[in-house]
Structure 1
Amino acid sequence: DDKFYDRTKDIILLKNTEGEYFTIEEYKEKVKAEQTNKEENIIMLYANDSESQYSYIEKAKARNYDVLIMNGALDNHFIDLMERKIEKSKFTRVDSESIDKLIVKEDAQVSKLTEEQQTELKPVFEKGLDTKEYTVQFESLSETEDAVMITQPEFMRRMKDMQAMGGGGQMAFMGDMPDMYNVVVNSNHPMISDLIDDKSNAHKEIIAKQLIDLAKLSQNLLKGKALSEFVKRSMDIIK
């Protein structure tokens, strides 16, 4: 409600992962130096589960980013309202992109893999994946970033969360769609470069599968039979 917001905007408190509280203006002032992107939007990062998103939160902290906790039942609606009310601002969940893409401050790095090499490797990573649910994409990230990570587009995840609370219209349509994730392959990671030189297709597929499963594990997406197979494969690799 816009009138309610106008009456309460100065007393709304945001909580970060350190347990600190800020008014909206205080928080904007706190993060604007480090969390302003190249379009001059302030990016407010948030998590809804500090345990399951721990690794993503820690990566953000390593960049001197601050992360809010947004784990309330109405926080998706609150975020939508804040983005409409606070000029030049955007809320982004900390695990919705690779750390290099959460707050884009400069043009992307040059990829160490050519387009042809990426095209060659893509089917290796797609093998065994449900391509209706997972989309493999190569990104030129820092060498120190993970070789493979899994993200879920912010817009789709937010719409599905709202639909789960009873939203209609477009949100109902989004809620009926299957979960969709991006399998982000870091084209600058040494392990990915090594796959190009690997002459054994079978070995390539094992390594690609292992990297994908590790990424799934970090997002709590590896369960049941797939988890059991991952554990067995891990033991075979380290024998």
Structure 2
Amino acid sequence: LTGVLYFPRIKTNFDIQKNKIQLYCNQVYVTDSVEGIVPEFLTLLHGVIDSPDIPLNVSRSYLQSDSNVKKISSHITKKVADRLQEIFKNDREQFEKKWDDLKLFITFGMITDEKFYERADKFALLKNVDGKYFTFEEYEKLIKENQTDKNKTLIYLYTTNKVDQHSYIEEAKSRGYDVLMMDGQLDPHLINALESKLKDSRFARVDSDVIEKIIVKEDRKEVALSTNEQNDLRAVFEGAVKSEDHYWISFEDLGENASPVVITHSEFMRRMKDMAAMSPTAGMYGNLPDSHNMVVNVSHPLVKSVIASKSESLGSKLDELDKNIKPLKEKADELHKSRKDKKDEEIPQADKDALAETEKQLDKFEDERRSLLKGFGSDQKLVKQLIDLALLANNMLKGEDLSRFVKRSLELIKPE
């Protein structure tokens, strides 16, 4: 078996071409349709292979089932892996310089060919945001001490865009964490493969949550706000968000020096959407809206200012509504208890009517209370500014919203 194979330099998806390997038998051309003859990931390579064991004048299906051709396929895979290992071992500096061009091919091989993965495990590289390269073993040693959480799980942090996710990267680096650059076309699939191979390890994009919750080192501080206080503050922030935008708003004690509001993306949902985007059919995940979370830092002075302003502006009105809500809740609870273990036909109609009327009045007062809080949030420039700053840090503030933010910023900083 003789031949020359090389990795073409690919700049875009449109550059990817298969069937650029020509098969010869004793210098007689056989075919360039090599799918099923050589491993799938090697069909992206270009070159020429000549072997006396490749039969002439037979169908492609015969070639695919021929035992000699299958041996050739395994041999080619081994030779490619051995050659890459040799280059890595003898001239690592040159290998690293070429890695960005080789990565797509090697990654494709690792996620589609188990034997190639076992061989590539020794020379495949991970690149961090500082442009440094590491083998899998080297990188595990680098981060093991600092990025192992309290449950003994090693967390691999990564980014897919250094510009869009810059603030999250800097937050991670400020804790002494290292961040990988995983912006390749096949990296979502590679991440899944690595998670299944690497023991007690998990990958998380830097913007998938606040860093304290991605790598949990100790039990988190309890939020000082009660459930009712959190619900009130949630309504205030919901009032400042556009009606067509949907965020799951949660509260954390991140410390007064951390950002007041952070926008995060669910790791699971985003990863499913990323992989669905590569599928011709997309599937159900491809049609789902983006999943965003809004984390409000209750210990930040500006958030405390919002809470104080809410109490000052709405305190008496909320207290008045609560006076109406409390007895209605108590009455509804009692009516529900009286129905316990009873069939519907055993409940007197008067009790059913009483519960329906009580819940109707309760809904009315609670809706009025919620509307009051959302209206307050809608009118508060500070709340909108905090949300827009979080969106801006996530590169999600654009167009008209960005113009409004700039105008509001000028109004807030202009001299008295």
Q: Structure 2 vs 1, CA of residues 202 and 72 (structure 1 numbering), >3 Å: closer, same or farther?
A: closer
2:104 matched residue in structure 1: none
Asked whether 1:95 is paired with 2:197, we answer no
Ranges in structure 2 where 5+ consecutive residues have no aligned partner = 1-111, 314-375
Residue aligned with 1:3, SS = helix
Give the CA RMSD over aligned residues. 1.7
Shift of 1:132: 6.0
Greater C-alpha radius of gyration: 2
Aligned partners of 1:42 and 1:5: how far apart in 2?
21
Distance 1:207 1:155 in 2: 32
CA deviation after TM superposition for structure 1 residue 134, in Å:
1.6
Greater RCO, CA 8 A, separation 6+: 1
1:221 to 396, 406, 409: 396
Shift of 1:129: 3.4
Q: 1:133·1:178 contact (CA, 8 Å) conserved in 2?
A: no
Match of 1:129 among 229, 242, 248: 242
1:203 Cα deviation (Å)? 8.6
2:410 paired residue number: 235
Cα distance between partner residues in 2 of 1:154 and 1:113: 27
The one-character-per-residue Cα deviations of 1:77-115 (angstroms, maximum 9, x if unpaired) are 000100001010011101111121120011111223232
Candidates 285, 303, 325, aligned match of 1:192 = 303
2:256 to 140, 143, 148: 143
Q: Distance in 2 between matches of 1:172 and 1:129?
A: 28
Query: TM-score, structure 1 length as denominator?
Result: 0.93
Q: Which AA in structure 2 matches 1:124?
A: V
Question: Could you tell me which of 129, 135, 144 is aligned with 1:17?
Answer: 129
| Cα displacement string for residues 27-60 of structure 1 (whole angstroms, at most 9, x for unaligned residues) | 1111011000111011010111112211111111
CA distance in 1, matches of 2:242, 2:217: 32
Note if contact 2:236-2:377 (Cα within 8 Å) is conserved in structure 1: no
Q: Is the 8 A contact 2:172 2:206 kept in 1?
A: yes
Within 5 Å, give how 1:1-239 maps onto structure 2.
Answer: 1=112, 2-127=114-239, 128-130=241-243, 133-166=246-279, 172-198=283-309, 199-200=312-313, 201=376, 205-239=380-414
Contact 2:248 2:293 in 1 (8 A): yes
Supply the distance in 1 between the matched residues of 2:377 and 2:292 (Cα, whole angstroms): 25
Cα distance in 1 between the residues matched to 2:273 and 2:300: 32
Q: Distance in 1 between matches of 2:220 and 2:210?
A: 12
CA distance in 2 between counterparts of 1:89 and 1:221 reads 30
- The number of residue pairs the alignment matches comes to 237
Cα pair 1:136 1:185 within 8 Å, conserved: yes
TM-score (norm. length: structure 2): 0.55
Given that 1:117 and 1:196 are in contact with CA atoms closer than 8 Å, whether structure 2 keeps it comes out as no
**What secondary structure, in the 3-state scheme, does the structure 2 residue paired with 1:117 have?**
helix
CA distance in 2, matches of 1:55, 1:44: 18
- Return 5+ residue gaps in structure 1 as ranges: none
Shift of 1:159: 0.8
Would you say the 8 A contact 2:253–2:297 is kept in 1? yes
Aligned residue for 1:37, secondary structure, equals coil
1:197 maps to amino acid: A
Q: How high is the sequence identity, in percent, across the aligned residues? A: 47
Distance 2:193 2:304 in 1: 43
> 1:195, 1:204 within 8 Å by CA — same for their partners in 2?
no
Q: Which moved more, 1:216-225 or 1:202-211?
A: 202-211
Cα distance, 1:7 vs. partner? 2.0
Greater percentage in helix = 2
Task: Tell me the CA shift for residue 15 of structure 1.
Answer: 0.7
